[in-house]
A = this chain, B = another copy of it.
Amino acid sequence: MIGTVSRAAQVLKEADHILILTHRRPDGDTTGSAGALCLALRRMGKQAYIAPNAQITRRYAHLIEPYAPENGFDPAFVISVDCADTGMIPPEMAAYAEHVDLVIDHHRSNTGFGRENLVMGERAACAEIICELTEELGIPLDREIAEGIYVGASTDTGCFKFSNTTSNTHRVAAKCLDAGVDGGEINRALFETKSRARYEIEGMLFSGMQFYHDGKIAVALITREAKRKTGADWDDLDAIAGIPRQIEGVEVGLTLTELEDGDTKVSVRTTKEVDASAICTLVGGGGHIRAAGATLHCPAQEAIVRMLEATERVYRGETA
């Protein structure tokens, strides 16, 4: 843990003209945390906005877009949420990346790149930290603030299913439901509704899946062509990385996605036998113990070889 909730609350009480940054390929936790924090700061009478994120998808747009800065807004205080390092901050926010005033994050790999930092690696979602902050600040958890917190907690834990879920995650969710959040409808939209593109890409994923290490490692590849054919966007691909691990006997699921710039994004999901973060650290990435990722600056086939090597090294007990 870096920093304390009370220190962060103190810093926020003194701040104003605030801009909140979310991370690249924004997910439910960065957008939910940003939305909830922005609302909480406004409830305190502060001017607070969320920087527009060029990669925002329709699934999470409603959480941040209403809080885009007005013309001519010049921030005096910058907060990043759910960003493990400056590299996770999108290029369009580069002007702020090197001088973040307050970093709020739950990635264990975060070394604290802000002037002030609140990093709680034991929290499953950054949104849980936002919940504690609002309590420390004495801001009542209304339905609107709670919705962002719930979305963050729910999406970062696979709807409370993954092993990163703690009793704190459940207690935060309980508070959100008590505040009037309609968890069932939110989860249906986030987890239960599948677009046709999603179904098609899942079909491709299964038919092309390859197995290694006595069936303990499953590798799935999402090509640029598959994305074009199905019309799948980042929304359609959300949480698809969890699929290879679903197959009986699989301990490490590697999902590789060809990016438009020629790089390959890798998402690693593991069972309790293997440390996903250790695998990704070996190739320059990072993350959590059961869910981690990296971006490899090479084509997919080369990335597969490098990821299999890294996975085998972790199986042998080697670390970075």
Contacts and interface: CB of A to CB of B under 8 A. Distances in A.
B192 A163 contact: no
B159 A183 contact: no
B246 A192 contact: yes
A167 interface: yes
B165 A247 contact: no
Interface stretch (A74-82, A105-113, A168-176): A168-176
A165 B150 CA distance: 13
Interface residues of A, number: 39
A48 to B, nearest CB: 28
A195 interface: yes
A173 B206 CA distance: 33
Contacts of A192: 161, 242, 245-246
A212 interface: no
Contacts of A195: 248
Interface string A205-248: 01000000000000000000000000000000000001001111
A214 B296 CA distance: 45
16 contacts: A159-B161, A160-B160, A160-B161, A160-B173, A161-B188, A162-B187, A164-B184, A165-B184, A167-B178, A170-B173, A170-B177, A184-B272, A192-B246, A193-B246, A194-B246, A194-B247
A177 B166 CA distance: 7
A73 interface: no
A290 interface: yes
Interface in A134-177: 159-168, 170-171, 173-175, 177
Given A161-B187, A161-B192, 17 more contacts: A159-B161, A160-B173, A161-B183, A161-B184, A163-B184, A170-B170, A170-B173, A170-B174, A171-B174, A182-B272, A184-B272, A184-B290, A185-B271, A192-B246, A193-B247, A193-B248, A195-B248
